[in-house]
Amino acid sequence: MPRLTPASLMPVLKACVAWGWLFMLPDLAFAGDSAVPGSAMPWWFWPLALFVTCFLIGIVAVPAGIGGGTLFVPIIGGFFPFHLDFVRGAGLLVALASALAAGPFLLRGGLASLRLALPLALLACMSSIAGALLGLALPAAAIQTALGVIVLGIVVLMLVSKKSEFPHVPQPDRLSSALGIHGVFIDGASGRSIDWQVHRTPMGLVLFLAIGVMAGMFGIGAGWANVPALNLLMGAPLKVSAGTSGLVLSLVDSSAAWVYLNRGAVLPMIAVPSVVGMMLGARLGARLLHVLKASIIRRMVIALLLFAGIRALLKGLGIWA
Amino acid sequence: MNTLPSTNALQQQAEASRYALLLDWGTRVGVVALFLSFAAYLTGLLPPHVPLEDLPGLWNLPVGEFLQRTDTPTGWGWLALAHKGDMANLIGIALLAGCSLAPLLGLIPLYLKRRDHAYATICCLVAAVVLLAASGVLTGGH
């Protein structure tokens, strides 16, 4: 087991210090000034801060086993001066870019199943469009409040949900049999060939309808909901669930992203630094996966999400503007 | 439907390989377009539609107000302004948002060849939903 050493953590520590300095700058600049933070800063300050933040989110997202998009919207929406419409548009692109980057690798490795993903993605794509339209129609305060509730729900889910490496599926349901939803994957850890099948497909389809609405409405991706639905409800092995979730996300986020793009809610100066920062951070996070202690990172991320969720809720309710 | 597990595994591998290949190339093209257009935007090679200095006063506005103040079109209207630095970035973003279409359409002949009409139909439907979202018809920005 690789050990956590100070040297191995240096890149992360340096990034954290840089991030801290970046956020101290506006405080220093605005000491004794009542103006809205960010208004007197040069235009490049917030995109740079966004890039650094997304880079850090990308690093911790991989070991924490959570999609970068889930962290992106509550954190950027809560602590940056951008309107939530643009944050959600960028959030969808961040989740989409991550899913697209991982998709081919997961498919070639047999960890993502097209037969499992496509029927679920069909319903989730349709509902994500509805969610995106609804999200852009509702007042920002209502979305912010609902986002706070959802993020706090994710925290609870992360704390209490159990995972099953290889769930026992005694018999596939009729729909999954008719669609031929089953497969084989080679478990890299044990080298074993695992045959898998799923059950409760109709219930899974209904759940993915709801997941699509949330993905479109909040722009947070939906890996946090996809994986438990595939693994615990439908009985797909954990690794197949995680891989297939990425594939579903690439389709769901693409449908919702078009809605935001057509409505003008994608601002390149917010979206591109976010996507690039997250992609670079995720690459570093994947390399540090063996060095960083996943359980500690996961606890840190849960604490961060808890704070961001409370912030979103209070901001939405007008208590902490 | 498939009866032999080994045949099923081979078929799924063929589907996955084709999908992965097309998705991989689509993503690469989208990312390169995004990087190049953003570099042109930042360096001023392509002058922006909304001046960079004005952004801090605009990005905190709801999208409707932002569009009104900056005279930015909705739907595919940005294509007419694609020579502007900020709008040019939307080409890369559109490529990324649309790059699942080619793999979906690429699977259809595979499914039809083995008479898997259910999955051929599902692929057509998913592609149709993505196209519908992309068209702008649903968002009133057509």
What ipTM describes this predicted complex? Answer: 0.92
Nearest residue to B81 via CA among B67, B99, B64: B67
| CB within 8 Å of A276: residues ≥ 6 apart | A51, A54, B35, B38
Looking at residue A1, its pLDDT comes to 40
Q: Using alpha carbons, select from B43, B32, B50 the residue that is nearest to residue A86.
A: B50
* B contact residues 79-98, partner A, Cβ 8 Å cutoff: 86, 89-90, 93-94, 96-98
Out of A43, A121, A184, whose CB is closest to B55? A43
Q: How confident is the model at residue A22 (pLDDT cuts 50, 70, 90)?
A: low
CA atoms within 13 A on the CB side of A209: 6
Nearest to B16 among A38, A97, A114 (CB): A114
Give Cβ neighbours of residue A205 (< 8 Å, ≥ 6 apart): A119, A120, A123
Does the pLDDT at position A59 exceed 70? yes
What pLDDT, on the 0 to 100 scale, is given for residue A37? 47
Q: Write out the H or E segment, with its range, that includes residue B21.
A: helix B5-43
For residues B95 and A100, what is the distance between their CA atoms, to the nearest angstrom?
12
Angle in degrees, CA A46, A48, A54, rounded to 5: 100
CA angle B104, B109, B113 (to 5 degrees): 140
- Six-digit token string for A108: 């070639």
Nearest to A184 by CA among A192, A196, A172: A196
- Distance between B12 CA and the closest CA of chain A, angstroms: 8
Q: Which pairs count as long-range contacts for A294-299, CB under 8 Å and 24+ apart, including other chains? A: A294/A63, A294/A64, A294/A65, A297/A60, A297/A63, A297/A64, A298/A63, A298/A64, A298/A65, A298/A158
Q: Tell me the pTM.
A: 0.87
Q: A39-48, A54-63, A272-281, B122-131 — which one is most confidently predicted on average?
A: B122-131
**What band does A181 get if pLDDT is binned at 50, 70 and 90?**
very high
Residue for token digits 């769901």? Answer: A252
Q: Which candidate from B17, B132, B138 shows the least CB-CB separation from A108?
A: B17
Where do runs of H (alpha helix) occur along A138-200? 140-160, 174-179
Statement: residue A34 has pLDDT above 50: no
| Count of C-beta atoms within a 10 Å radius of residue A314 | 16
Q: Do residue A133 and residue B138 have CB atoms under 8 angstroms apart?
A: yes
- pLDDT tens digit string along A279-292? 888 888 877 766 77
What are the pLDDT digits (tens) for B15-68?
A: 999 999 999 999 999 999 999 999 999 999 999 999 999 999 999 999 999 999
Question: What digits encode the pLDDT tens for the residues A186-235?
Answer: 877 778 888 999 999 999 999 999 999 999 999 887 888 888 899 989 99
Closest CA of chain A from B109, distance in Å: 15
Residue A27 has pLDDT above 50, yes or no: no
Q: Give the residue from A299, A298, A280, A287 showing the smallest Cα distance to A2.
A: A287
Q: Do A264 and B72 lie within an 8 Å CB cutoff?
A: yes
- Nearest chain A residue (CA) to B15: A114
Residues of B in contact with A129 (CB under 8 A): 129, 132-133, 138
Question: What pLDDT does B35 receive?
Answer: 94
* pLDDT above 70 coverage of chain B, percent: 94
User: In this structure, how many other beta carbons lie within 10 angstroms of the beta carbon of residue A140?
Assistant: 19
* Chain B nearest CA to A156, separation (Å): 31
Count of Cβ atoms closer than 10 Å to residue A117 Cβ? 27
Confidence class of residue A165 from pLDDT cuts 50, 70 and 90? confident
Close Cβ partners of A16 (under 8 Å, ≥ 6 residues apart): A56
> Six-digit token pair at A38?
């960010």
Q: How many CB atoms lie within 10 A of CB A39?
A: 12
Q: Which has the higher per-residue pLDDT, A319 or A15?
A: A319
CB pairs under 8 A between A and B: 190
pLDDT digits (tens, 9 = 90+) for A109-132: 888 999 999 999 999 999 999 999
Residue A9 banded pLDDT, cuts 50, 70, 90: very low
For residues A164-189, b (16+ Cβ closer than 10 Å) or e, as one string? eebbebeebbebbbebbbbbbbebee
- Minimum distance, in Å, between the CA of residue A287 and any CA atom of chain B: 21
Distance from A170 to chain B by nearest Cα, in Å?
A: 17
- The pLDDT value recorded for residue A266 is 96
Distance from C-alpha of B34 to C-alpha of A272, rounded to nearest angstrom: 8
Residues from chain A contacting residue B52 (CB–CB below 8 Å): 43-44, 269
| Interchain CB contact of B71 with A (< 8 Å) | no
